[in-house]
Amino acid sequence: MYDVVIIGCGVIGASAAYELSKYKLSIAVLEKENDVACGATRANSAIIHAGFDPKPGTKMARLNVLGSRMMGELCEKLSVEYSQIGSLVLAFTEKEMECVRELYERGGKNQVPGLRILTRDEVLQIEPNVNVEVIGALHAPTAAIINPWGLCLALAQNAKINGVDIHLNSEVVRISNKGGHYHVETTSGAYDTRYIVNAAGVYSDKVSDMVAEPFFRITAVKGEYYILDKSQGDIVNYVLFQTPSSVGKGVLIAPTVHGNLIVGPTSEPTADPEDTSVSYRGLEEVVKKSMRLCARISFKESIRNFAGVRAMGGDDFILEASAPNFINAAAIKSPGLSSAPAIALEICDLLKENGLDLIEKDSHTLYKKKPLFKNMRPDEQKKVLELDRRYGRVICRCETITEGDIIEAIKAPVPPVSIDGVKRRCEAGSGRCQGGFCAPRVHEILSREMGRAMESICQGKAGSYILTGKTKTPGGGAV
């Protein structure tokens, strides 16, 4: 019997697990995919919003500003890539300038620090590559960029070493109220728990419906993106936003913490929450709308296109109980990533209000991943090489990732089970060739280190097998 079961291990579920692991509780996380951070956490804009956009007085506004304030310290503590570079909302017409002034006023009500309205000359002075037709902008210095899956992984790793059980490949199919506790049936087995936190993302309404009368609906909205080579990474200095519309913040341009440039997303409702395909039409829309912000981008330098699906469910986050001891953390659209640390605190408060005793542990262990070999000082590299020569073998040439780096990722508390899982943990395959050179080597290392047949290793999600068997025997004959 668990005290708390968390359904979903994206950044919200992982944040809740991390925060709750500080208390004397038995906790489990149930994740339907074969790894953590496989949903919206894996595919988003990787931005920590300052908090001027949400409507004042909403949970979204309060938790965005608090989460943004908490994020820098949390990322430093957990060794997660984070950079507070600030953002600009650009205006090209007087009507858009009115929107900028409204956002400034809204940001003031939300207590966002440091907001300024800039003139055209001030914008061009700090961001010389933007469209020269700009007439002004809102500057938010507390906005930042982050490694979103890195944050989720770090939270999950820390939760795991502090006693949280993480059950992957465990899709929830039925929940029964047994009068005092819940019986949760999954594709991997059944679990009993006193409390449930529903952080199931685009499926959170379906999970809530298992225990309560329907009271919210989630719409899955797909957004398509470009990732551009590092040659484009310094085209802009800030996160560049359009003035927002009814469907969201629009196509944006931002540097990434790894030195690339991200451009997108589109915003299109989809009937299939698993649809992460990209389209010519969607990518063409990204190019067209981004050119209004900055025409200097060379989309010929694209190294990858991807799409993410986000959970839309109204004008505010849904953070409340819908049944006894059943807490929803649902409709966590943007700025959900920015709000995650604050949402975790809110979840703890809601559990406490529903009768869960939160007694702090005497100690809480901190897990920090080892720096990549390329990021070590020369004296550190020498010391590491003396202990393990595999750090001297470069596997991913684009990102200079070594065999030692990959093995270190595999030995982590929540290890990768796929080639994409390795990529998210240590950057192998994230460079210009996108794994064209290193993927077979990563495949071999995963197989060897995990003691698994090559045929059982997936590219990404469960079922995405790469090999089906051998074509030749060692002696040369066909099988």
pLDDT > 90: what percent of the chain?
Answer: 95
Judge if the upstream peptide bond of residue 415 is cis by omega within 30 degrees of 0. Answer: no
H-only helix segments in 177-226:
204-209
pLDDT for residue 222 is more than 70: yes
**Block residue for tokens 């993480």:** 166
pLDDT for residue 476 is more than 80: no
**Rg of the chain (C-alpha set):** 23
> What is the rounded average pLDDT of the residues 27-44?
97
Rounded to 10 deg, the angle between the 419-426 and 148-161 helix axes is: 100
> What is the rounded average pLDDT of the residues 158-171?
98
Beta-bridge partner residues of 304: 227
Annotated active-site residue 364? The verdict is: no
Distance between first and last Cα of the chain: 49
Q: What is the CB-side half-sphere exposure of residue 210 using CA atoms within 13 A?
A: 22
**Catalytically annotated residue among 49, 139, 258, 443:** 49
269 in Cβ contact with 219 (< 8 Å): yes
Backbone angles phi, psi at 341, to 5 degrees: -65, -35
pLDDT for residue 381 is more than 70: yes
The string of pLDDT tens digits covering residues 276-307 is 999 999 999 999 999 999 999 999 999 999 99
Backbone angles phi, psi at 256, to 5 degrees: -110, 165
Rounded to 10 deg, the angle between the 336-353 and 59-78 helix axes is: 100
The string of pLDDT tens digits covering residues 94-104 is 999 999 999 99
pLDDT at 479: 52
> What is the rounded average pLDDT of the residues 250-273?
97
Task: Evaluate the CA torsion angle 35, 38, 44, 47 in order and state its sign.
Answer: negative
Question: What domains can you pick out in the chain, each with its CATH number?
Answer: 1-81+145-216+313-368 (3.50.50.60), 82-144+219-312 (3.30.9.10), 373-456 (1.10.10)
pLDDT for residue 248 is more than 90: no
The model carries a pTM of 0.96
Q: What is the separation of C-alpha 149 from the centre of its chain, rounded to a whole number of angstroms?
A: 4
Indicate the residue type of 313.
Answer: G
